[in-house]
Amino acid sequence: MSARDHGPGVRVPPPVMVAGALALAWGMQRVLPVPLGPPLPEFGALVIFAALALIGWAVLALVRAGNDPRPDRPDAAFVEAGPFGFSRNPIYLGFLVATAGFALRWGDLWGWLAVVASHLMLDRLVVAKEEVYLAARFGSAYEAYRRRVRRWV
């Protein structure tokens, strides 16, 4: 890692992006509800718990490899272990699953729109930058991984 390596250049933390989409969806469903079905609070909570477990597992894999999990920091090591074996972005996948859990809890269209908005923001503003960075940082090892493991699932 060189002194000039400043990471992938992600400026807005991904949890802030997702939390913003969720907050907007929560507010909209309070002001202008668009019910899609009955709220499923218990099932939604279970989905959120599974998402947090996935996020925790992925963060643990990064930390064990010597990386700072924040996307604005340079990576010290290339990680393929744990959930990175089936998804190149398990933390962001966890964010999307958690957002879906909130949508299930609410039973409202706005929650599902938050899932779509979060996916678009993460895919375009975070993952795209990270992929360019990782390809430059880890070269052929990352390209082989990219061919082998899907971006999301």
Q: Which domain holds residue 134?
A: 14-148
- Residue 9 belongs to a domain: no
Which pLDDT score, from 0 to 100, does residue 5 have?
64
- Residue 153 belongs to a domain: no
DSSP 71-89: TTS--SS---SGGGGT-S-
What radius of gyration, in Å, describes the C-alpha atoms of the chain?
17
Task: Quote the percentage of the chain above a pLDDT of 70.
Answer: 96
pLDDT tens column, 10-31: 999 999 999 999 999 999 999 9
- Residue 7 belongs to a domain: no
Nearest to 81 by CA among 72, 73, 90: 90
Please state the pTM of the whole predicted model: 0.94
- The total of structural domains in the chain comes to 1
pLDDT tens column, 70-129: 998 899 999 999 999 999 999 999 999 999 999 999 999 999 999 999 999 999 999 999
Residue 2 clears pLDDT 60, i.e. is over it: no
Give 35's strand partners: 108
- Residue 20 belongs to a domain: yes
| Arithmetic mean of pLDDT over the chain | 95
Residue 6 clears pLDDT 80, i.e. is over it: no
